[in-house]
Amino acid sequence: MIDINVPGFRHFQLSHLVLDYNGTLAIDGRLMPQAGEILAALAEVLQIHVITADTFGLAQGELAGLPLSLTIAPPENQAATKLAYITDLGTERVVAIGNGRNDRQMLKAAALGIALVQREGGAVETLVSADVIATSILDALELLRQPRRLVATLRS
């Protein structure tokens, strides 16, 4: 669990990290360099889940051996599927990271939503639904390893 108190915002007790895959952890279906190492380190304090439409069909192979749960979402109603997934986990204990329009509801409902704008871009609705915006998955994941960065960004 990661325990973070952000003055003037909220107190987080995070147990689950839920991530999109393409555009978030991967570019063109390939896992971003160093992302696997950071995920493995975070798995010591968070349960890690990847939920994806798997556009390129590479997620299972790219994530093999990492300590995480992979769910391939059906092509229809992806936003609702992702929202239901984190609701089942307990939204108050979830940090969610994504970039696509199908991530917007998940980021809004999660205790902490982090939107990304990388090479694939980021959907405007998703950016507006997030608490924090990052420009790389490595930076987003490091926010969880260095929680004072979140405090500096979110305090009021």
Are 1 and 89 contacting, i.e. CB atoms less than 8 angstroms apart?
no
At residue 35 the predicted structure's pLDDT band, cuts being 50, 70 and 90, is: very high
CA distance 149 to 65: 29
Are 113 and 129 contacting, i.e. CB atoms less than 8 angstroms apart?
yes
pLDDT at site 58: 97
Predicted model pTM: 0.96
Note the pLDDT tens digit of each residue in 115-145.
999 999 999 999 999 999 999 999 999 999 9
Domains of the chain, start order: 2-154 (3.40.50.1000)
DSSP sequence for 98-150: E-SGGGHHHHHHSSEEEEE-BTTB--HHHHHH-SEEESSHHHHHHHHHSTHHH
CA distance 105 to 125: 9
| 3-state SS class at 41 | helix
Find where tokens 């205790």 sit.
Answer: 111
At residue 19 the predicted structure's pLDDT band, cuts being 50, 70 and 90, is: very high
